[in-house]
Amino acid sequence: MKIAVAQISCSLGDPEANLSKVRDFSRQAKETGAELIVFPEMTDTGYSMPVIRTHAASWTSGFVPGIQEIATKLSIAIVSGVSERDGSSIYNSQVLVDAAGEIVAKYRKTHLYAVAPVEEQTCFAPGDAFASFAIGDLRFGFSICYDLRFPEMYRKLATEQNVAAFVISSAWPFPRVEHWSVLTQARAIENQAYVIGSNRVGKDDELWFCGSSAIIDPRGIVIAAASADREELIHADLSQELVDSVRKRVQSLGHRREDLYG
């Protein structure tokens, strides 16, 4: 199947402008033949804790219904990072809307970036479960930005939920661009799975985002890559057969010594 990754900037605190960008990039992705397009973290509000606290909304109105309308009209599945207000809590979430416009899966970021000056814990409640979804014969696992630093999460998704492709929505900043590149390839290599990383460009508050969105195959080969500083659409074909072939040739997931390290 063909998938696309949108590398975009966001208008801080302007969900309508950001929804218009989702519409434009989704249309472009559909024209390439993509069945799924992935957008970055906090695509609706931009990545600023004060702004998110003001603009986070229930998914019954606003940005998410807008994504559902786009998905329906274009007949394309969409994964996007979005704020999610649920009662008195706000979550840093991902949503999957399928090509029929239905919300079929979601994930709430489990590892919050509790480091100054961002301090996500002052805005978000943490999620408490990992999540995955299937499109065709491929199973995809959700993850968001800082999650990338926790390999245990990806290993559990690969071994317990049979995930063959990891979808990462991110707002990763420039000072750690090398970390982004190394860690995305590492997660692909060690789990023999695709990594689909959609990262922001542009600036929110004092953070400059480093782009470098990428699609990496189960061998760790970068098969599509974006620049560090421009809005772009990248795309690639994914194959469950390749995942199966790589995992069969070197059965490292089966060689783990869980008796030693759990």
Residue from 30, 84, 106, 109 carrying the catalytic annotation: 109
**Apex 227 CA angle, 25 and 234, nearest 5:** 40
Which residues are 208's β-sheet partners?
203
Burial class of 87 by CB neighbour count within 10 A (0 to 12, 13 to 18, 19+): exposed
Rounded CA-CA distance 52/42 in Å is 8
Say which of 35, 41, 84, 120 is annotated catalytic.
41
Q: Is residue 41 annotated as part of the catalytic site, yes or no?
A: yes
Tokens of 230: 């421009």
Indicate the SS3 state at residue 250.
Answer: coil
Contact predicate 59/48, CB 8 Å? no
DSSP code of residue 212: -
Concerning whether 10 is annotated as a catalytic residue, the answer is no
Catalytic residues: 41, 109, 145
